[in-house]
Structure 1
């Protein structure tokens, strides 16, 4: 009788461009134990030479039992001769947004473990149920369907991607997105493998648990608005439009011709414009649906004026459209000697030695000349140059920008932390326009894109 779980693991291994070492994220729950066991069984057949497994359990330290559970996973991995590491979330936990914070720290700790264990990628056990829950959560946040107005790229109209690049460092792969939890548990039962049921999965204080209960009580399960391939095709089209229609100057101003500025009826162009705006504003998400609709109306009207959305000014002039960060709520960043930090979500600053203070360059002197040399209108130059970082030693002031004091790199906020695989072509176009290198390719063939459904 065919085994869907084992077959999916075998298919997944065949999708790699070359054999490698895989780090499996194992919490001890049925999904992660299933992906660990399935990959182990597939590799044990000898049909996938060159592959090896390692495992990591992230102990979020949110429950008294978590350390014991991590130890039981480590013991199980020893029975399979799989190298295992436990990484613990140390320190105080946030009072709100705990699940989002846990997700971010989980991927960071997994990335550290992957580096320590020599793994080339990370695999998680996300299932079809996880995909449905994610889609419903994102659908609710976007106030309903309508990816053609920008919801798709900002709120995940295609759901979770089968491949995701974390921190420009390591690819996270989700081979089980088409499998149901019941299939995985049957696979484990057949092999007498136990799993841990996390009590937080029944805690209705968490949004995902509430959504899960609502889905279970409903017969009307909505599927993704877009499939992975459709999302990838739209991203590729948006990438071409970014390259053809948008010029980014000094990572401070995006310039669009008047002819193209109002073409917001084209959903791919709208995606391109909004994603560049998010990068300029240092935001990892797009503006809300209502804001996008107002912005589209403003741009289609074709009249000179300014509108702010997502911390970015859309400055419409007779000669074209200009986008730049609004001069409000610009932070102060203090760096210790040799320290590193992210200023305004836009600039990664690394001290070249001394302690530094990073503020907005109110004078605009350093970047203004470069924007003038690019041929931008003086009004745009004056506004955009004052939202560049000004860097000075902590015991002095008045040194603008400060290339001699620090290394400065632009942070592509929508993609530098979490990049869905189906958006990589678009992300490359954005990165190049901001003077950054392209993102590394995933270790699997593009056929896995469709598994993001």
Structure 2
């Protein structure tokens, strides 16, 4: 239904809180060219004043002809009168995990292009076909407690800096191609989309053969409701001390049969461990078994110690595999996956875990932690000092230290923003930026009106 493409673009523009400049990621494939053309047509309507479009093509430099394709997209944008940038992935490419690396680099370059072109958000051409493939792949990897228990969100915050919007998640690729064909617009087919070495290509072939649409474990509304409840549980039952240790009341600690509490607890543990993802199923089961037993003791999982005592449950980073990090003046680096450290000095600084430290011990004891927990947690606390032994006179050291939230700082699905905000505030951070479109879900995870471009909220979109 070609008419559905234009209708979706119009609905999408109505979702914005106020008109803005949208950067469209255009590869030259049918989905992204269809998105650009549909938005260009919709913005041409008289009631869409105030909106403007810019575009960017990422040339990954991974195959011959990619530069020519990018130039062709630039010509197409010029015909539409849409300002366009080509950003090329320079430098060496990894030999393994190339698609994941390309995805990270693509969003980085798109965010840079948005800043250069003055865009307020990014729109991508992901479709319902992409969504089905994502659901199957995440299900096969057993990503059931975290973001993997759902497919792609229709809104996603990248790098804490810009929102990525996916207006076509409710549309099939065939409809977009019919729309382009009706307009006499051709597109490129990336040969990598037919390479069975890639997981997505294999899944695409399997779905085409089965002709059955996979079902996500959770709908978008269910996911948002779960995130809202997990946020409330975090606010009610978790205290974080000095960003290095968490405390949970004994009566709540073993309540791992509650899926939302389990997710909340594991999310806090992931931050303390400097991890980007929640544990796999086998590890979750091991943690659940230990905590539900209710016996005092300690276990380690994902680099985090689960310290069960009569007074409560305490979580802190295991004092192992803590490497030193040198940070040059004016530079920001991440230490141990847990802390973003900015050097405000004129000389290099070094971040280490020095082991037992009386100052950290006392700070944690003063915060209310038992002495034994404070001593163990302090062994993995960050210590910042001049990198050169002969440097003196740097007291207090000028360094900004911020807790890193690996679960959400790179990619934050819109339906998890309420929970992400709760985690951020727990660790002394500000809330994440709000999206430029009206929220679909309220603070309780209830559907608050719904946006037509997001499709049927009974199915993940």
TM-score (normalizing by structure 1): 0.95
Moved over 3 A (4+): 448-452
In the TM superposition, what whole-angstrom CA distance separates every residue of 1:296-317 from its partner, at most 9, and x where no partner exists?
A: 1111110011111211111111
The 5-angstrom pairing of residues 166-185 of structure 1 reads: 166-185=158-177
Contact 1:177 1:452 in 2 (8 A): no
Give me the whole-angstrom Cα distance separating, in 1, the residues matched to 2:153 and 2:359.
41
Corresponding position of 1:422: 415
Deviation at 1:215, TM superposition (A): 1.3
Cα offset for 1:2?
7.2
Query: Once the two structures are superposed, what CA deviation does each residue of 1:393-443 show, in whole Å capped at 9, x if it has no partner?
Result: 2212899x9862311111111011110000000000000000000011111
Q: Could you say which residue in structure 2 is the equivalent of 1:381?
A: 374
Instruction: Provide the rounded CA distance (Å) in 2 between the counterparts of 1:407 and 1:200.
Output: 43
What's 2:70 paired with? 70
Number of positions where the alignment pairs a residue of Structure 1 with one of Structure 2: 444
Contact 1:126 1:176 in 2 (8 A): yes
Report the equivalent of 1:109.
109
Corresponding residue number in structure 1 for 2:59: 59
Contact (CA 8 Å) 1:338, 1:355: kept in 2 or not?
A: no
- CA–CA distance in 2 between the matches of 1:365 and 1:18? 53
Residue 323 in 1 paired to residue 321 in 2? no
SS of residue paired to 1:342: strand
Following superposition, the deviation at residue 452 of structure 1 comes to 4.7
Match of 1:411?
A: 404
Return the alpha-carbon distance in structure 1 between the equivalents of residues 402 and 362 of structure 2: 20
Q: Distance in 1 between matches of 2:324 and 2:226?
A: 38
Task: Look up the match of 1:147.
Answer: none
Q: CA RMSD in A?
A: 1.7
- Residue 366 of structure 1 deviates from its aligned partner by 3.6
Q: Distance in 2 between matches of 1:398 and 1:136?
A: 55
| Separation of aligned partners in 2, 1:83 and 1:62 | 25
Partner of 1:437: 430
Match among 234, 243, 248 for residue 240 of structure 2: 248
- What are the superposed Cα offsets for residues 102-154 of structure 1, whole Å, 9 maximum, x if unpaired? 111111110011111111000000001110111111001107xxxxxxx2424
Q: How does 1:217-296 map to 2 (within 5 A)?
A: 217-296=209-288
The CA distance in 1 between the partners of 2:362 and 2:80, in whole Å, is: 63
**8 Å contact from structure 1 (residues 21, 118) kept in 2:** yes
Residues 339 and 355, structure 1, Cα contact 8 Å, conserved in 2: no
Listed as ranges, the gaps of 5+ residues in structure 1 are 144-150
Cα distance in structure 2, aligned partners of 1:206 and 1:226: 26
| 2:355 alignment counterpart | 362
Bigger shift: residues 192-201 or 441-450:
441-450
Contact 1:392–1:405 (Cα < 8 Å) also in 2:
no
Matched residues in 1 for 2:390 and 2:333: separation? 19
1:188 is displaced (CA, Å) by 0.3
* Structure-1 residue corresponding to 2:324: 332
Which residue does 1:202 correspond to in 2? Answer: 194
**Distance across 1 between alignment mates of 2:71 and 2:112:** 19
Change in 2 beyond 3 A, CA 1:268/1:79: same
Partner of 1:47, secondary structure, is helix
Q: Which residue of 1 aligns with 2:9?
A: 9
Shift of 1:365: 3.4
TM-score by length of 2: 0.93
How far off its partner does 1:343 sit? 0.7
State the alpha-carbon separation in 2 of the partners of residues 397 and 320 from structure 1: 44
- SS of the equivalent of 1:217 reads helix
Equivalent-residue separation in structure 2 for 1:403 and 1:108 (angstroms): 35
Q: How far apart, CA to CA, are the structure 2 residues paired with 1:339 and 1:90? A: 22
- 3-state SS of 2:435 partner: coil
Question: Which residue is 1:392 aligned to?
Answer: 385
CA distance in 2, matches of 1:331, 1:216: 47
The answer to whether the 8 A contact 1:246-1:254 is kept is: yes
User: Does the 8 Å CA contact 1:166/1:417 hold for their aligned counterparts?
Assistant: yes
The 2-side partners of 1:100 and 1:66 are apart by 19
Contact 1:166 1:416 in 2 (8 A): yes
Partner of 1:148: none
Consecutive unaligned residues in structure 2, runs of 5 or more:
441-449
